[in-house]
Amino acid sequence: MSGETFDVLIIGGGIVGAACALEAVRSGLKVCVCEKGVIGAGATAAGMGHLVVMDDSEAQFALTSRSLQLWRDLADSLPVSAEYQVSGTLWVGADDEEMAEVGRKRSFYESRNVRVEVLDPRQLSEAEPHLRSGLAGGLLVPDDAVVYSPVVAKFLIDRANDAGAVLREGVTVSAIHPHGALFVDGTTVSAGVVVNATGSWSPGLTPGIPVQRRKGHLAITDRYPGFVNHQLIELGYLKNAHAVTSDSVAFNVQPRQTGQVLIGSSRQFGVDDPAIEAPMLKWMLERAVEYMPDLTGLKIIRTWTGFRAATPDSLPLIGPVEVEDGRLWLATGHEGLGITTSLGTAELLVDQILGRQSQIPTAPYFPDRSLREDIHHG
Amino acid sequence: MAERLMGDSVESDICIIGAGPAGLSAAVAALERASSVTVVDENVHPGGQIWRHDQIKGENPELRVLMNRLPRERVNLISSATVIAAPAKGRLIAETPHGATPISYQRLILATGARERFLPFPGWTLQNVTGVGGLQALVKGGLKIADQRIVIAGSGPLLLAVAAYLKQVGARVVLIAEQAPRRRLIRFGLSLFSNPARLGQALTLKRQLSGIPYLTDCYPVAADGEDKVRRVILQQGAKIWQVECDYFACSFHLLPNLELASLLNCGIEAGRVVVDNSQRTSEPDIYSAGEATGVGGLELSILEGRIAGYMASGNLPGAARLFRRRDRARRFARLLDQTFASTAVLRELPSDQTIVCRCEDVALGSLREHRSWKAAKLQSRCGMGPCQGRICGPAVEMLLGWQPDSVRPPALAARLDTLLLTAELAEGQNTQEWSKE
Amino acid sequence: MAEKVTILIDGTVHEVECGTTVAAAVLNAGRSLFRRSVTGAGRGPLCGMGICYECRVEIDGVLHSRSCLVPCRSGMEVRTDG
């Protein structure tokens, strides 16, 4: 292996690295992917696997909606164990203020040809009988979906592998440079393009990039088929999620195809310890119970944490960065949208490598766009 | 005895987990000096597995003797309670039918016992294929077994004890198939001559089992039937034949229950809780006794329980008096492990289509393609169901050589509100106490 | 003779001896299928002691109850997947 040369070397076997590998090899490039542990076992496994069209910014909408299209194209070839399910997202409004947000979202989506449906309180409770009464309504985005991400990551890697990509699993990179990588076992791999797709670990390999670890807690129940029908997210989420300087939780509950209920979500900066933190878990579960009182009697079979790779403007870093002796490529900083945007990211990255025209503008995701280096202190 | 099921909090100086022989012996010993103890047990009735309450025979006589020696007003027995988390030092959370119960303690004795080891073979998921102790537990719980044809297979002395029991309550035990080689069993049998009491027990058992074939070097190749098991295919050497039955009871010796010790960060080696001469674990103020420290049978469990009870109550001379007897009994335990260790041929029983993880229906073939337990779990969900790998974990370890993971709370599926209470009690504590990754 | 309690198993009335576990009562009622596995296979009790979760049934509306650990109580409603 030592000394072998590739067109593209991708560091990181999460869903983003896996998608990039497949897209690159399909575009005729000679590809190597390296994963220090197990494919799809980082944030890919920790996250919810919610495929969602977002409206925080034009750029976020462009990337998420293009990605959803790519997911729909991929869906038929996914294995059953990928659990691709178009369950839709139901944004839940608790009060008039949040219903105003429902109205704003509705016109945003409708004007961009995304199907939506506004639900009144009665329709909301019919759609989700276990929500508490007294909620103001909701916005249903029926074409959003849910997927079991680790299986997808493995599927993409296997496909890339079949198409000729080389996979190095269980090897840790100690350093990367514009023309290759050095591994802790002393071996090296050379490549024309080196891509850092290591998510929350990416600043370790490429110091100075504006990516921070944002910790999340999750819990999953035993199987209760039909308990939840859509991915449910409170609209207060937006207020909370934007509070980048403080910890937050949100009611964010997902129906798994298995009948399990996945309960999120929490966000924390400045924590590197993956241990479950009682106050955060408690706060998150209490928030979930506030919206869905019947959750209290369900059996939780597991709790865990994961780290998102967050950027100051909530957009990923896709493209080259100039370093001392050349250019390094980034595909990181996807925060909570890495599963959704993995496919779009791969397309944008390979388009840039090959100088192809992209389906959507690429500039908003350039790593050298104007970003405050670090807006979070402490 | 103050029986309590309510979900209010319990404070105790000495807390014992498990009301089997080790746990109850620990309670009796501790109460010579301590003013009170708390005993937490998962079952409705105390007694553990071996002295499980019997719908036919009532309370076990040995259990009755021990219970009569317990000053009941000083024992706080929390029944039907499953310990699911240790939110902070000196704190446990148990889930009961009436809610979550926080328990605080100064000293803890883990007497969590053992469970049967199950190994997959084609048809082991059919209905009426049970554990050996499992079938006995069902019968003790009221299952009518009279005139039912039963094949018993696997490994360990439990096969004989359960066969004798089932015969006594009217079942038709067709045969007993022990996988261990005959030469190992002869060596084991000879060793009994050094212990007249055990020899006596063995001879009694032999008399009780007269007329039931006991085959060694014999193991199940498959169980067969539509939904329920109808017949078992057995192999002994080159001979393969089938036996009709109504129930097929099969397990391969016993495994210590380690989840709680693991949750409490107690050292574990070779599948046993590590204890010193005084039954102390690697964690301060936590003792362990009985099968959790290595499967060794009733006598060893009682001795270890007594030592742990004496130690936890500060009665060092009481404990020291028992060390030699305990050490002798422990040698017997090691002999048990050697005698009934699974032979390599058992690894060949499952086909690629045989289910290994019964919670998530994961077949062996879909595990083989992965490099590690972690990858296999992520991709196939093996071990991710409600039993949390308790059944498939030991099988996977034997079949594929993968070691089990550490235990994270909840140690067993727990109600969301139990988890909320756990988190509340853990607040302000070092997060490491709640969960080490 | 032991006292009896009356329970409902899948809507049918059964008289069982007091102290009988739900698992034993279901088997005594002639049912060996307790739950359907995730791929639809019928399963019944394996370990008899609360470890394996194979004997899960619905008891008084509570899903996933380990029937081997629960004694029958008068008026109890038990639902299997059978």
Is the pLDDT reported for residue B311 higher than 80? yes
CATH code, domain carrying C56: 3.10.20.740
Show the domain range for C58.
4-79
Is the pLDDT reported for residue B435 higher than 90? no
Closest residue in A to B381 (Cα–Cα): A81
Q: What is the mean pLDDT of chain B?
A: 93
**Chains touching chain A at 3 or more Cβ pairs under 8 angstroms?**
B, C
* Interchain CB distance below 8 Å, C16 and B130: no
* Interchain CB distance below 8 Å, A221 and B414: no
Number of structural domains (chain B) is 3
* Interchain CB distance below 8 Å, B371 and A169: yes
* Interchain CB distance below 8 Å, A296 and B379: no
Q: In sequence order, what are the residues at sequence separation of 6 or more whose Cβ sits closer than 8 angstroms to the Cβ of residue A207?
A: none
Show the domain range for B376.
350-400
Residue B278 in any domain: the answer is yes
Mutate to test the interface with C, among A81, A222, A294, A295 (most CBs of C within 10 A): A222
pLDDT at B334: 86
Residues of B in Cβ contact (< 8 Å) with A39: 375
Residue B423 in any domain: the answer is no
pLDDT at A239: 64
Asked whether residue B18 falls in the same domain as residue B136, the answer is no
**What is the average pLDDT across A237-246?**
60
User: CB burial class (10 A; 0-12, 13-18, 19+) of residue A34?
Assistant: buried
In this prediction the ipTM stands at 0.98
Is the pLDDT reported for residue B434 higher than 90? no
**What is the average pLDDT across A272-281?**
92
* Interchain CB distance below 8 Å, B434 and A170: no
* Interchain CB distance below 8 Å, B415 and A302: no
Q: Which amino acid does the sequence have at B419?
A: L
Architecture of domain A89-142+212-309: 2-Layer Sandwich (3.30)
pLDDT at A324: 86
Is the pLDDT reported for residue B133 higher than 90? yes
User: CB burial class (10 A; 0-12, 13-18, 19+) of residue A182?
Assistant: middle
Delimiting residues of CATH 3.30.9.10 domain(s) in chain A: 89-142+212-309
pLDDT at B377: 94
Closest residue in A to B436 (Cα–Cα): A275
Delimiting residues of CATH 3.50.50.60 domain(s) in chain A: 5-47+149-210+314-365
- Over residues B377-412, the pLDDT tens digits come to 999 999 999 999 999 999 999 999 998 777 788 888
Asked whether residue B206 falls in the same domain as residue B193, the answer is yes
A221 vs A217: CA distance, rounded Å? 14
DSSP annotation of B192: G
B384 interfaces chain A, CB cutoff of 8 Å: yes
Among A178, C67, C74, which residue's Cα sits nearest to residue B138?
C67
CB atoms within 10 A of CB A304: 16
Strands (DSSP E) along A78-136, which ranges? 89-93, 117-119
pLDDT at B199: 81
pLDDT at B428: 61
Nearest Cα of chain A lies from the Cα of B369 at a distance, in angstroms, of 12
Token pair for A84: 């691709």
Asked whether the beta carbons of A274 and A305 are under 8 A apart, the reply is yes
Number of structural domains (chain C) is 1
Residues of C in Cβ contact (< 8 Å) with B141: 20-21, 23-24, 48, 68
Which residue bears the tokens 């190597």?
A32
B427 vs B155: CA distance, rounded Å? 46
Q: What is the mean pLDDT of chain A?
A: 94
Residue B422 in any domain: the answer is no
**Chains touching chain C at 3 or more Cβ pairs under 8 angstroms?**
A, B
Which residue of A81, A289, A303 is in closest CB contact with B409?
A: A303
Closest residue in C to B116 (Cα–Cα): C47
C39 vs C77: CA distance, rounded Å? 26
Asked whether residue B107 falls in the same domain as residue B122, the answer is no
CA B86, distance to chain mean position in Å, is 21
CA A60, distance to chain mean position in Å, is 12
The β-bridge partners of A150 are none
Q: In sequence order, what are the residues at sequence separation of 6 or more whose Cβ sits closer than 8 angstroms to the Cβ of residue A86?
A: A142, A143, A144, A145
B375 vs B29: CA distance, rounded Å? 47
Q: What is the CATH number that goes with domain A5-47+149-210+314-365?
A: 3.50.50.60
Q: In sequence order, what are the residues at sequence separation of 6 or more whose Cβ sits closer than 8 angstroms to the Cβ of residue A186?
A: A2
Residues of C in Cβ contact (< 8 Å) with B116: 47
CATH code, domain carrying B327: 3.50.50.60
Residues of C in Cβ contact (< 8 Å) with B5: none
Closest residue in C to B43 (Cα–Cα): C69
pLDDT at A238: 59
Which residue of C21, C32, C69 is in closest CB contact with B42?
A: C69
- Over residues B143-179, the pLDDT tens digits come to 999 999 999 999 999 999 999 999 999 999 999 999 9
pLDDT at A3: 64
Quick one: CA dihedral B242, B395, B95, B301, positive or negative? Answer: positive
A197 vs A329: CA distance, rounded Å? 9
**What is the average pLDDT across B317-321?**
97
Is the pLDDT reported for residue B2 higher than 50? no
Residue B419 in any domain: the answer is no
Nearest Cα of chain B lies from the Cα of C26 at a distance, in angstroms, of 9
Asked whether residue B74 falls in the same domain as residue B155, the answer is no
Residues of B in Cβ contact (< 8 Å) with A297: 415-417
Choose the final residue of a domain: B252, B275, B302: B252
Q: Which helix (H) or strand (E) covers residue B176, if one does?
A: strand B172-178
Residues of C in Cβ contact (< 8 Å) with B115: 47, 49, 51
Asked whether residue B248 falls in the same domain as residue B277, the answer is no
Is the pLDDT reported for residue B437 higher than 50? no
Instruction: Supply the angle between the helices B297-312 and B21-30 in degrees, to the nearest 10.
Output: 30
Residues of B in Cβ contact (< 8 Å) with A298: 415-416
Is the pLDDT reported for residue A2 higher than 80? no
B131 interfaces chain C, CB cutoff of 8 Å: yes
Q: Which of residues 64-83 of B touch C (CB under 8 A)?
A: 80, 82
- Over residues B176-201, the pLDDT tens digits come to 999 999 999 998 888 887 777 888 88
Q: In sequence order, what are the residues at sequence separation of 6 or more whose Cβ sits closer than 8 angstroms to the Cβ of residue A280?
A: A217, A247, A249, A266, A268
- Over residues C22-76, the pLDDT tens digits come to 999 999 999 999 999 999 999 999 999 999 999 999 999 999 999 999 999 999 9
pLDDT at A377: 34
The β-bridge partners of A146 are A50, A85
pLDDT at B7: 57
B98 vs B332: CA distance, rounded Å? 41
Is the pLDDT reported for residue B426 higher than 90? no
User: CB burial class (10 A; 0-12, 13-18, 19+) of residue A322?
Assistant: exposed
Residue B262 in any domain: the answer is yes
Is the pLDDT reported for residue A240 higher than 80? no
